[in-house]
């Protein structure tokens, strides 16, 4: 929006400069300044001031917009980090409880084979489901 206004101001400045240069070439024999020339010079100064102020305001807006975008990215990154930490906690819990629930389901079956064995065999089978260098497949 500010760029549109800046373009309008540039066109107006160019129009005033073209009018001033046109009138200077026509009346080069008159050294004194007419009221029209004074008004054109005053308008030109005012429009140039407005243009510089608009450009300054536009650059400030762009800088603030970049700052806001950076802050939004930081907030989103913090949210993603929090979610990753929560997922890590869930993974740690699953690492413990999934093998335990599997072992409990195996030991909880009412099969004739399991009735003859003791609880320690089921416990060893349950511990065997954990990856461990202590228990090897040959030991069980």
| 10-residue stretch averages of pLDDT, the chain, 140 residues long | 90 88 64 79 91 93 95 97 94 91 81 56 57 48
pLDDT in the model for residue 115? 53
Question: For the chain, how many structural domains are there in total?
Answer: 1
CA atoms within 13 A on the CB side of 80: 6
Task: Please indicate, yes or no, if residue 93 is contained in any of the structural domains.
Answer: no
Task: Please indicate, yes or no, if residue 132 is contained in any of the structural domains.
Answer: no
The structure's pTM equals: 0.51
pLDDT in the model for residue 64? 95
Extended beta strands in 7-135, E state:
none
Task: Please indicate, yes or no, if residue 99 is contained in any of the structural domains.
Answer: no
Torsion from C-alpha of 68, 70, 76, 81, nearest 10 degrees: -150
Using alpha carbons only, what angle is made at residue 51 by residues 17 and 45, rounded to the nearest 5 degrees? Answer: 50
Task: Please indicate, yes or no, if residue 129 is contained in any of the structural domains.
Answer: no
Burial class for 44, CB neighbours closer than 10 Å (0-12, 13-18, 19+)? middle
Can you give the residue range of the structural domain that contains 7? Answer: 2-88
């Amino acid at each position: 929006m500010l760029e549109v206004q800046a373009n309008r101001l540039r066109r107006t400045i160019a129009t005033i400069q073209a009018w001033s240069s046109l009138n200077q070439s026509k009346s080069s024999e008159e050294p004194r300044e007419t009221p029209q020339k004074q008004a054109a010079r005053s308008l030109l100064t005012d429009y140039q001031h407005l243009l510089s102020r608009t450009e300054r305001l536009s650059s400030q807006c762009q800088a603030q917009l970049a700052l806001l975008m950076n802050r939004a990215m930081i907030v989103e990154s913090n949210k993603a980090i929090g979610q990753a930490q929560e997922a890590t906690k869930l993974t740690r819990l699953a690492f413990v409880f999934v093998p335990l629930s599997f072992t409990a389901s195996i030991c909880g079956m009412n099969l004739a084979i399991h009735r003859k064995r003791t609880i320690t065999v089921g416990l060893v089978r349950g511990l065997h489901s954990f990856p461990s260098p202590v228990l090897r497949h040959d030991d069980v």
